[in-house]
């Protein structure tokens, strides 16, 4: 493993998942080098480059986000990070969002570090924003303290963020596009599926945008409402959170999350609610008929890397998938708002 520097001031290396040969992504002066497609395992390269070409061909009206969620530590095949790093390096990607649930059971720092190692080795964490999942609060009381500290130290503490980044809820503004990106912690009460009154009060204030021409994008981990035909737990006070988001004085683009391990988009009143497939490798169909495919090792189905593209002028959102689910054949899911 290479030296990790938040400032990218040292030579850094990552390793090809097939050949284990090192490729520099920073030179000795801290200048970023292009992340090579050779670092992406062969059965993902065509799909990765196809998505890269698609988003690179989009007009400047589009903003692109990579979303990885629910890797679940030991259940992950460790290929999605290289795909994400290639896209961030070679495409117009605004940010990489890590959606939470980095452990397979109780919170495990070892599992978290195993999954994050490649991203941290890349050194350029300026575009990476992390969320807390319900597994980050699973275990004894020290789990919450340690998991928050890991996310805060690794991805948030060098950034200027509005809110409480040490508790992993915060927002960033883009005045040029007139967009607020809001990141919420769906487990900040210490319970896996409950948000604190303190955070909800903060959300209520944070959705008041500079003026009514602004738009709001919300990221979180746990689903805010029950999905039709799905019986796993969602946010216990999700209705309260939804009502807080709906107080926005501008346009709400939608809420984007993981947790349910499926691809599903629904409308809760006027709120678009999109959940995206887990990055965990497992040969399981949790919900028959709801956008889930069996995962097969050493094939494109083993991981799930989502690319979200936002057009704030046309008011459209498009999801592209590299991996299982929607885009094993590069299908797209989209909605207008």
Whether pLDDT at 34 is above 90: no
pLDDT tens-digit map of 128-143: 999 999 999 998 889 9
pLDDT tens-digit map of 295-337: 888 998 899 999 999 999 999 999 999 998 754 434 557 899 9
Task: Say if CB 148 and CB 133 are below 8 A apart.
Answer: no
Whether pLDDT at 209 is above 70: yes
Which position has the higher pLDDT, 34 or 310?
A: 310
Provide the 3-class DSSP secondary structure of residue 67. Answer: strand
Architecture label for domain 12-336: 4-Layer Sandwich (3.60)
Alpha-helix runs per DSSP H in 132-245:
141-151, 197-206, 238-245
Whether pLDDT at 71 is above 50: yes
Helix, strand, coil percentages for the chain (3-state, nearest 5): 30, 25, 45
Task: Say if CB 114 and CB 73 are below 8 A apart.
Answer: yes
**Predicted structure pTM score:** 0.89
Name, of 28-37, 70-79, 117-126, the range with top average pLDDT.
Answer: 70-79
How many Cα neighbours within 13 Å face the side chain of 102?
27
pLDDT tens-digit map of 154-163: 999 999 999 9
């Amino acid at each position: 493993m290479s030296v990790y520097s938040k400032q990218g001031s040292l030579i850094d290396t990552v390793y090809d998942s097939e050949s284990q040969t090192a490729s520099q992504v920073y030179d000795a002066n801290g200048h970023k080098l292009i992340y090579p497609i050779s670092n992406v395992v062969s059965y993902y390269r065509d799909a990765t480059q196809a998505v890269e070409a698609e988003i690179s061909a989009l007009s400047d009206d589009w903003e692109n986000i990579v979303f990885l969620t629910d890797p679940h530590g030991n259940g992950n095949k460790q290929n999605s990070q290289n795909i994400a790093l290639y896209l961030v390096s070679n495409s117009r990607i605004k940010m990489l969002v890590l959606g939470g649930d980095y452990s397979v059971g109780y919170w495990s720092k070892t599992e978290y570090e195993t999954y994050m190692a490649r991203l941290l080795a890349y050194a350029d964490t300026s575009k990476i924003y992390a969320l807390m999942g319900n597994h980050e609060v699973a275990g004894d009381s020290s789990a919450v303290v340690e998991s928050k500290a890991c996310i805060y130290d690794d991805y948030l503490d060098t950034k200027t963020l509005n809110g409480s980044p040490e508790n992993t809820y915060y927002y960033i503004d883009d005045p040029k596009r007139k967009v607020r990106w809001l990141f919420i912690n769906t487990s900040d009460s210490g319970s896996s599926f409950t948000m604190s009154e303190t955070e909800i009060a903060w959300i209520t204030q944070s959705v008041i945008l500079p003026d009514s021409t602004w738009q709001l994008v919300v990221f979180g981990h746990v689903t805010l409402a029950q999905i039709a035909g799905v019986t796993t737990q969602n946010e216990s006070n999700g209705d309260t959170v939804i009502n807080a988001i709906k107080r926005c004085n501008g346009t709400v683009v939608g809420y984007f999350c993981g947790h349910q391990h499926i691809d599903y988009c629904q409308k809760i009143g006027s709120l678009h609610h999109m959940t995206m497939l887990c990055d965990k490798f497992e040969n399981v169909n949790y919900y028959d008929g709801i956008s889930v495919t069996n995962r097969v090792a050493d094939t494109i189905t083993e991981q799930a890397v989502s690319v979200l593209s936002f057009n704030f002028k046309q008011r459209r959102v498009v999801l592209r998938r590299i991996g299982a689910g929607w885009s094993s054949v590069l299908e797209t899911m989209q909605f207008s708002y």
